[in-house]
Amino acid sequence: MTLQELYREMDGDYAQALRVLHIEKLIDKHIRKFPKNAVLNTLFEAGESLDATALFEAGHAIKGISANLGLTVISDMASEITEEFRPGNTRKLSDDEVRAKVASLKAQFDKAADAIARYEQA
């Protein structure tokens, strides 16, 4: 599997990753690290406990990391969570809706992590 094929499987934007990181070798290096990023688990745990500060901070971090890697679906999902819990914003979603958004983000992350694992084995 090529890096571009990986991006198609992840619903990612390879061109965006290339614009940010400039070199395919850097994309390869950082995409391999993505599934191991501890901030993802922080977000998933915060989604269960509805820890507003952790949801904002982890969501914001994931938004940036995934945007830089061209993982736009994950970035957009993380952005929704970030804005829901941004200090000063009024919450618009119920707790159940927040949990559902976190679960959807986790499903998209799992899809990407599975694709990355297959990419690493190729």
As a three-state string, the secondary structure of 14-78 is HHHHHHHHCCHHHHHHHHHHHHHCHHHHHHHHHHHHCCHHHHHHHHHHHHHHHHHCCCHHHHHHH
- Domain residue extents for the chain: 3-121
CATH node for 3-121: 1.20.120.160
Provide the pLDDT confidence category of residue 2 given band limits of 50, 70 and 90: very high
At 98 the pLDDT is 96
- CA dist 50 and 33 (Å) reads 26
At 4-46, the pLDDT tens digits run 999 999 999 999 999 999 999 999 999 999 999 999 999 999 9
Contact 27, 17 (CB under 8 A): yes
Output the pTM of the full model: 0.92
- CA dist 31 and 12 (Å) reads 11
| Contacts for 28 with CB less than 8 Å, ≥ 6 apart | 3
At 73 the pLDDT is 97
Provide the pLDDT confidence category of residue 89 given band limits of 50, 70 and 90: very high
At 35-77, the pLDDT tens digits run 999 999 999 999 999 999 999 999 999 999 999 999 999 999 9
